Chains A and B, each alone.
Chain A
Amino acid sequence: MKNRNPIWDFFASVKLALFTLFFLSTTSIIGTIIPQKESVQWYSERYGEATANLFRVLSFTPDMYNSVWFLCLLGLLCLNLIVCSLDRFPGVWRQIKADNLDTPLNRLEKMEPQCRWQLDNPPESTTSALKIFLKTSGWKAEERKLDNSFLLFAQKGAMTRTGVYIVHTSILVIFAGAIIGSILGFKGSIMLPETKSTDKAYTFDTHSPINLGFEIRCDRFNVELYDNGMPKSYRSQLTILENGKVVKEKAIVVNDPLSYKGITFYQSSYEPSQDFLITITNKNTGLSETAIIPYQQQRSLEKNGLRLGVVSAEAQGQSVSKIKIWLNDDKGAPSLFWLNNGEQVTVERTKNSYTVSAKQMYATGLQVAKDPGVWTVYTGCALMIFGLVIAFFMSHQRIWLYIREETDGKNSILMAGNANKNKAGFEKTFQALSQIIKKV
């Protein structure tokens, strides 16, 4: 045995792992009971000055899960995993690569399960027949000639011994992804009124502006409702512009974001505004004009030479359903008419006829995220599931067949085997296999 370093042993121990996991689970509870990411005043009002101060000193608030001590616990878990794996993996690798034909005979004689029987055929032909049989039934088989005997070894799933290490590595990969995301990425939001564009987002935590490196415009925002009034969809028609040129367009809904140059825009909220977007087309001349008109204000539309205003509206909550418009082209008395939000009507005037459409305007609330670590995290997750399936449901199974020419001319065979997991299951496999082998 090599000289063990006590510090190394400490970090390699499973006891430490149990302690860390236990400590992580108990302390995690705190942040689920004390609401996180609230303001200083909020905590003082809720818990009183003294308690709020104590929470702050202990970093329970405002963001316990990113506090130094909590991150240290996670770091300890990682360190534990790394040291533990480095400590054990070489041994496991030696077992995977071991020359099992070197296994001493006295170990085979004591191994469980095992069985023995007499053979009619000479060892040489028996060995080669068994080897072919084992290979065709999916075992990796090899043989060695000893003095007056043969040792045949076959195994399955040697690599499954790495399953646990795949699981442990996957946790480190997930942490690596999270670190990449927190260093190179950002999380922010934008409140973007319809028809407007911006090249900045504002971070969640400090509300500082981030340059996107391109412009994003919200062309339209729509709320669709179910018959019972529940929201069915929030949809923003977005356009990405670079140097004034359109480079990408997409209508996003919740669960279906838009990504451009590593930055992703998620539909997250909206705000109704007091403005209306009105489009009017002269049917005779084909002249079309769009204007943003604030509630109960009159605006002139120069091209068509007319004046327009929204005099009244009906709303469901904050969402306007019907709009009443006043329109005057100074040819005859002004027109007053209702139309449904988002729909189009035709207005007949003495000289001209117009199609008019109107909708309430919104600002769309977008979450903006750049997280170059996501795919690392997902890779870690996939590795974890892969590793768990191997660790839980697969095992390394080994069998040895020792075939010997006895002095009396008879031949005997000793079959022994073992598995690193699910021993009961292996015994069944072993018995079934030995029945077949006896007949080969």
Chain B
Amino acid sequence: MNSSQLIGITTFTYLFSTILYAVVFIFKTKRLGPVATIFTIIAFLIQTAGIGLRWLESYQMGMGRAPLTNMYESVVFFAWTIIFIYLIIEWKFKTRIIGAFAVPFALLAMAYASFASGITKEIVPLIPALQSNWLITHVVTCFIGYAAFAVAAGLGIMYLIKNTSETRQAASNDTTLLGSLPPLKVLDDITHKTMVFGFLWLSIGIITGAIWANSAWGTYWSWDPKETWSLITWFIYAITLHARYTRGWGGTRIAWLAIFGFISVIFTYYGVNFLLSGLHSYGSSN
């Protein structure tokens, strides 16, 4: 069994998790809830083992490096972080329904990592510029931020769905499908908290990236497209925080901003590599 196989298995287990959470949500089979959670935890552990094994394999191949340095590895880590953050939210806020909206993001990421063409799964050694501890700190912190924003976008979608249906039916929501979703106020609150958490980590991610650039090239900020897009994303969330905190925005507007912000995250992470040119190695290394 090698790491790619383990990580490949994770794709299917997350598919199954998604289905379980969807069943819990759609058919309100509350008894299946703990099953979904336990299954997701197992999938998460398998993935953790896969990532750990990949790390070990790189040592066996004589280049010992953290598995965080190309598109494949970063997407896998992204999925891992989404599940990690989701599980914390499930535990903290005691609600499972969010799983039906958060786990699919991890599934999509894993499916992309496993099946997209042009993604290499090989463990390749690090070129000199990537040999830095700041790189690892940078990738880990950025991805914690990105994953939080993914979960926030999932929550935003939930909010909008529930909100439109409530305004249409205006009453007796316990009988409807969406009645099982947490109340709008709670969704709004969790969305905001998740975004705040993501904002802190994105800030740290941008800073560690700057420190790394400075140690490698002597310039902490060079307005390269990836840097600029991460700043744009950061601005979007800064706008969201201020609009909420000082102008009292909430509800649908914040939900839309959560989704909009995540689109910017995706573009920073993915679009920049393929549509624009720049220093960052993800994508160019395949």
Considering the complex, give the chain B residue whose CB is closest to the CB of A264. B218
B216 touches A254 (CB 8 A): yes
A392 contacts B by Cβ under 8 Å: yes
Most buried by A among B128, B218, B229, B238: B218
A32 touches B272 (CB 8 A): yes
A308 contacts B by Cβ under 8 Å: no
B160 contacts A by Cβ under 8 Å: no
Give chain A residues whose Cβ lies under 8 Å from the Cβ of B125. 226, 228, 230, 232
Considering the complex, give the chain B residue whose CB is closest to the CB of A381. B207
A310 contacts B by Cβ under 8 Å: no
Would you list which residues of chain B between 197 and 256 have a CB under 8 Å from chain A?
Answer: 197, 199-200, 203-204, 207, 210-212, 214-221, 223, 225, 228-229, 231-232, 235-236, 238-239, 242-243, 246-247
Chain A, interface size: which category? 35 or more
A17 touches B242 (CB 8 A): yes
Give chain A residues whose Cβ lies under 8 Å from the Cβ of B232. 25, 28-29
Task: State the CA gap A62–B81 with chains docked (Å).
Answer: 39
Residues 383-413 of A, flagged 1 when their CB comes within 8 A of B and 0 if not, give 0110011001000000000000000000000
B204 touches A31 (CB 8 A): no
Min CB distance B264 to A, Å, is: 8
A233 touches B128 (CB 8 A): yes
Residues 134-147 of B, flagged 1 when their CB comes within 8 A of A and 0 if not, give 10000000000000
A69 contacts B by Cβ under 8 Å: no
Q: Determine which of A18, A35, A256 lies in contact with B239 in the assembled complex, contact meaning CB atoms within 8 Å.
A: A18
B132 contacts A by Cβ under 8 Å: yes
Task: State the CA gap A307–B42 with chains docked (Å).
Answer: 72
Task: State the CA gap A33–B278 with chains docked (Å).
Answer: 11
Would you list which residues of chain B between 55 and 97 have a CB under 8 Å from chain A?
Answer: 63
Min CB distance B278 to A, Å, is: 8
A342 contacts B by Cβ under 8 Å: no
B218 touches A377 (CB 8 A): no
Task: State the CA gap A178–B235 with chains docked (Å).
Answer: 19
Task: State the CA gap A36–B228 with chains docked (Å).
Answer: 12
B276 contacts A by Cβ under 8 Å: yes
Give chain A residues whose Cβ lies under 8 Å from the Cβ of B124. 228, 230
Give chain B residues whose Cβ lies under 8 Å from the Cβ of A266. 216-218
Do A255 and B218 contact each other (CB < 8 Å), given the known contacts A22-B239, A29-B232?
no
A40 contacts B by Cβ under 8 Å: no
Do A14 and B247 contact each other (CB < 8 Å), given the known contacts A32-B228, A254-B131?
yes
Considering the complex, give the chain A residue whose CB is closest to the CB of B197. A392
A32 touches B276 (CB 8 A): yes
A268 contacts B by Cβ under 8 Å: yes
Residues 183-208 of B, flagged 1 when their CB comes within 8 A of A and 0 if not, give 00000010000001101100110010
B128 touches A389 (CB 8 A): no
A378 contacts B by Cβ under 8 Å: yes
Min CB distance B66 to A, Å, is: 15
Q: Determine which of B128, B211, B236 lies in contact with A231 in the assembled complex, contact meaning CB atoms within 8 Å.
A: B128
Task: State the CA gap A257–B216 with chains docked (Å).
Answer: 8
Considering the complex, give the chain B residue whose CB is closest to the CB of A373. B220
Residues of A within 8 A of B (CB): 14-15, 17-18, 21-22, 24-25, 28-29, 31-33, 35-36, 65, 178, 187, 226, 228, 230-234, 253-257, 264, 266-268, 367-369, 371, 374, 377-378, 381, 384-385, 388-389, 392, 424
List 17 interface pairs A-B (beta carbons < 8 Å), by A numbering. Answer: A14-B246, A18-B242, A18-B243, A21-B238, A22-B235, A25-B236, A28-B235, A33-B276, A226-B125, A255-B128, A255-B132, A256-B215, A264-B218, A266-B217, A371-B218, A385-B200, A385-B203
- 10 more A-B residue pairs beyond the given contacts A257-B215, A385-B200, A385-B207, with a C-beta to C-beta distance below 8 A: A31-B223, A33-B276, A35-B277, A226-B125, A230-B124, A255-B131, A257-B218, A384-B203, A384-B207, A424-B189
